[in-house]
Structure 1
Amino acid sequence: MLARLIASVLLITAALTGAASAQDGRWWRAESANFIVYGDLNEQQVRNAAQSLEDFDLVLRALTRLESRENQNKLEVFLVRNLRGLRVVAPHMSESVGGFYIASGDMIAAFSRYDRDLGIDRRTILFHEYAHHFMLHYFPSAYPQWYIEGWAEYVSTTDISRRRATIGRPSENRSSWLNYGDPFPVEHLLAPESVAQRDGEFTGRFYAYSWFAVNYLSNTSERLRGLERYVSLLGEGGGPLESFEPAFGITAQQFGEELEAFKDGRSRLLHIDLPQELAPMTVNRLPRAADNMLLPLARLRTSQSAVNDEDAAEISAAAQPHLDDPMARILLARLAIRRGDNAGARDQLNALFAQEENHAEGRYLLADMILEEMNAKSGEEARADLTEARRHLVRSFRQDPSYYPTLYLYASTFAGEPQPMSDEQLNVLGRALELAPQADHIRLLLARELIRSEEYDNAAALLRPVLYAPHGGDQSAYARWLFDAARLRAPPSGDWQPPETQPAAAGEP
């Protein structure tokens, strides 16, 4: 199946971009101050997408009064032509999804369709996903779910024309949901996690009303001030419903009535002039090896799901003609690890190290594999494995000091010790979070270790952004467990148990 998806993607791309030289692939790569954009598009489309993202970054910085600077850990963005491209990375992706953002243990990236079939402006999807990344990076706080999604929707419709940005235009896709059926209960907007049945219709209406609520706040200074108090109360452990009236000075029901009345009102548009000079960037065509490997490698970096026999055979076949490319060795090593073939993974990594002795990702993968195997050992044998794994991680770090998976994994090897982490070890974990503040697993481990070190206030501050994460699931529940302990200035009692599984919300329409 994977081969058919890749083949169809390449066939469409070849038809649209024309013939390339023998060594040239179909993918283009653009690198700017804050982004690395990959696209199976033509050069100008990839360049335009990178420029749009840099412009949008300037818009968000202007709106939030944040100083512009180059990002230490640039966001990787993958542009595909249609749903087939998304499904190479996420095989079970819904047809209604135009893009997604993921912050995994090994990669932080956004994936977006760049076609017209969705009926949504291409940039709207890109802007929505980057808005999440931006908020988590620079403004991690206890924002409620509706504001997190609503703000991303509100800024995603930003129109940039002739070096001028216009913010606040209505979203036609979301507007159509506002008048669908009965008014959306305000309790469902403020506390969606309390709703037992969250199907596709609920999700569509939740996103629409979230966007509309943020649009209303942006046009009502008094309510905007209430939001600041609301976030503060949530950050102190308050619930989304009981904290509403003390923060806003009106009941949730009155807020719902104001939203209904605003449907007949007019939204205020904001305008921001952008610099006339375009963002500096380098754009190059990737070699042919990337055609069949770039998206499958992203799949293995961003997901821990199983790879079936058919897909595994196709991924392996795609890599075989390019074994002189380190990407092929990394892809095959990750595939072998995913399939439980550690011996095969070692063979691939040894071949990789013959090409590039201290390949950062390769040394990280080897260390991770050794640590996993160590769990079945004890005594001197386990200690020897631990020492070897740490040695590989040090070599990985020296090759790439900004590769956050290495920093996290190295620090995590000290998490099981009887004594709390040392300041130096906490600093390593803190550096990993600085590079990847969107990665909740880093935030949660650091918070837990800070609690062990009796740094309760710092731990609570770290946990606030996870408490109401829209797709937090068990991680949000675990964060709440740690947060409650930090607020009590004591270690958590007992062992954490995940709550009973709740019905998951449908994917974003």
Structure 2
Amino acid sequence: MLQCALRYLLLGLIACCIPTIASAEWREASSPNFLVYGDQSESQIRDFTDMLERYRSAMRFIYKLPEEATSPSNRLTVFVVRDEGQVRKLLGNGSRFVSGFYQSRAGGSVAFVPRVGDNSRSDRVSDGERILLHEYAHHFMFSVFSGSPPLWMAEGFAEFYASAKFEKGGAVGLGLPADHRAAELVLAQEVPLDMLLSTRKYRENASKRYDAFYGRSWLLFHYLTFSDNRPGQMADYLRRIDAGQGEEAAAANAFGDLAVLDKELGSYMKQRRMTYLRLGPERIQSAEINIRTLSKGKAAILPVVMRSRRGVNEEQAKIVVEEARKIAASYPEEAFVQTALAEAEYDAGDNDAAIAAADRALARDPQAINAAIQKIYAQFSMADDDGKDGQWPKVRQAIAAANAIENDNPIPLMYFFRTFAREGKTPPDMAVHGLERALVLAPYDTALRLNLGQHQIKQGELEAAQMTLRPLLNHPHDSELAEFARKLLDGKGELAPDYEVKNAEADVSP
């Protein structure tokens, strides 16, 4: 009886993690590079999505990147929830100071942020908007940089670009003073420069109190970007990191005496005026945005979608799928609802139910790509490694069907390669090229990078494997992942043929 009571208590606590949606009208804003869900007015969600598109365009201009079409499933999905409390419930453990977070994975990168404000009052972004800009800056950085930057640089980059303004005439300002970090820089626990510049030292010695890491990271990035005293030093530092010098050695060689740099930072922080980047409207590309109000079924199932996209463990999956089944029973004709049920069933381990729900969704909407993806997951999970059950042709048929719906979705490409790995067969060139293409589409996906790197090692393509795995070797967030990548290159590691990271690590913003 006691065990039963404890189980129901546990399940009740897990259920609290499923966000609730009030009776407000939820809307979806769809643009070339973003898919935004929020219970705000049409003008608010349109302005918000337009801001994101202008932000992306401005950063691409700065880094001289040509405009390229984003496949629909590779867009960043943004869930705008009620408040920071809802964000923290979704994140779970370690969320005390978190105001928003971002997870990157092929075909399913998501961000969760609190409700945004009214842009009519100022051209500077609100707190909620800045959180999302911070998270999208991570998404952008992982997409365009080949290496794995130190932790301070990843956060300094995101803080630099998140301090933005959007003028009424279409101009965009980036790299403005991070006013929201002013009190932190003065009052929070100090982070010495040598510790800031070493992810290892910071991880080992960081105070349990809220510290000035984000503020100091922004200050250093801003100073190295605009300082006339240190031209080219940040680029030199990154080159040294990529060459494998290590964070501490790269900093010493690129910046010289850190005490001198620290003194310069102190003076820079006290300046009354700072430079920023202003891009006129002629340099910003506009984008078409389509707004629609969600149906009752979609609005009802959206909390399940959010929880599934965040990622669930075994116990949480049981709760989420029960909620999904109740809602799906009321809306059997809605493809979006049945797709959400398919994902919840797969997470809960019921592959047959997942396939059935996916088939119902595809019968109502043949272009329901996420339903086709859930069918791949379930059928791949059911197949025997030796192929004696005859399932692999069915898996590849599901993969081909999903690829026909969306040719540049990375998931069918990566799973086509994995079918051969699971069977113990050498993947044909077509499968290898598909995996390479998937990594181009989703360079931030860890599982993709490890799969391709291991294949290249097995083929004796060590130089190519070094290039593929290099972004992981100095990974600032996951030392175990970095060590595993090194073991692969040294011939001392082996990746499971069906390796994937479904519940990606979240990047958070305090």
**TM > 0.5:** yes
Aligned match of 1:100: 101
Deviation at 1:273, TM superposition (A): 0.9
Aligned match of 1:287: 295
Structure 1 pair 395/151, CA: closer, same or farther in 2 (3 Å)?
A: same
Give the Cα separation in 1 of the matches to 2:19 and 2:269.
47
Aligned match of 2:8: none
* Aligned partner (choices 364, 368, 371) of residue 373 of structure 2: 364
Structure 1 pair 34/311, CA: closer, same or farther in 2 (3 Å)?
A: closer
Segments of 5+ residues of structure 2 without an aligned counterpart are 1-11, 119-124, 497-504
Aligned match of 2:178: 171
Aligned match of 2:75: 74
Give the Cα separation in 1 of the matches to 2:484 and 2:328.
39
Give aligned pairs, total.
477
Deviations 1:359-415 (A, max 9, x none): 54334323322332335x64623xx22232122111221122122222111112223
Deviations 1:427-453 (A, max 9, x none): 100111122222121122112212222
Give the Cα separation in 2 of the matches to 1:399 and 1:89.
31
Aligned match of 1:488: none
TM-score, length-normalised on structure 1?
0.84
Structure 1 residue 48 corresponds to structure 2 residue 47: yes
* Aligned partner (choices 446, 449, 461) of residue 443 of structure 1: 449
Give the Cα separation in 2 of the matches to 1:441 and 1:268.
40
Give the Cα separation in 2 of the matches to 1:432 and 1:506.
22
Segments of 5+ residues of structure 1 without an aligned counterpart are 15-25, 486-490, 498-503
Aligned match of 1:62: 61
Deviations 1:321-359 (A, max 9, x none): 111111222222222222222333343234335435675
Give the Cα separation in 1 of the matches to 2:117 and 2:288.
28
Structure 1 pair 50/411, CA: closer, same or farther in 2 (3 Å)?
A: same
Q: Matches of residues 177-326 of structure 1 in structure 2 within 5 Å?
A: 177-180=184-187, 183-194=190-201, 195-198=203-206, 201=209, 204-248=211-255, 250-265=256-271, 266-275=273-282, 278-306=286-314, 307=316, 309-326=318-335
Amino acid at match of 2:342: A
Residue 103 of structure 1 contacts residue 438 of structure 1 at CA under 8 Å; is this kept in 2? yes
Amino acid at match of 2:61: A
Deviation at 1:49, TM superposition (A): 0.6
Deviation at 1:226, TM superposition (A): 1.6
Aligned match of 2:3: none
Residue 30 of structure 1 contacts residue 284 of structure 1 at CA under 8 Å; is this kept in 2? yes
Deviations 1:100-134 (A, max 9, x none): 111135511222112569x9533211211111111
Residue 321 of structure 2 contacts residue 341 of structure 2 at CA under 8 Å; is this kept in 1? no
Secondary structure of the 2:173 match is strand
Give the Cα separation in 2 of the matches to 1:412 and 1:379.
13
Residue 352 of structure 2 contacts residue 378 of structure 2 at CA under 8 Å; is this kept in 1? no
* More deviation, 170-179/189-198: 189-198
Deviations 1:459-483 (A, max 9, x none): 222223333444335333323434x
Give the Cα separation in 2 of the matches to 1:403 and 1:410.
12
Structure 1 pair 284/359, CA: closer, same or farther in 2 (3 Å)?
A: closer
Amino acid at match of 2:28: R
Residue 390 of structure 1 contacts residue 410 of structure 1 at CA under 8 Å; is this kept in 2? yes
Structure 1 pair 114/356, CA: closer, same or farther in 2 (3 Å)?
A: closer
Deviation at 1:309, TM superposition (A): 4.7
Amino acid at match of 2:146: P
Residue 142 of structure 1 contacts residue 232 of structure 1 at CA under 8 Å; is this kept in 2? no
Residue 420 of structure 1 contacts residue 452 of structure 1 at CA under 8 Å; is this kept in 2? no
Residue 417 of structure 2 contacts residue 431 of structure 2 at CA under 8 Å; is this kept in 1? yes
Aligned match of 1:17: none
Give the Cα separation in 1 of the matches to 2:41 and 2:392.
47
Q: How much is the aligned-residue C-alpha RMSD, in angstroms?
A: 3.2
Deviations 1:151-204 (A, max 9, x none): 1101101111232222232222322221236642222211123332545535x4
Secondary structure of the 2:69 match is coil
Structure 1 residue 396 corresponds to structure 2 residue 402: yes
Deviation at 1:147, TM superposition (A): 1.0
TM-score, length-normalised on structure 2?
0.84
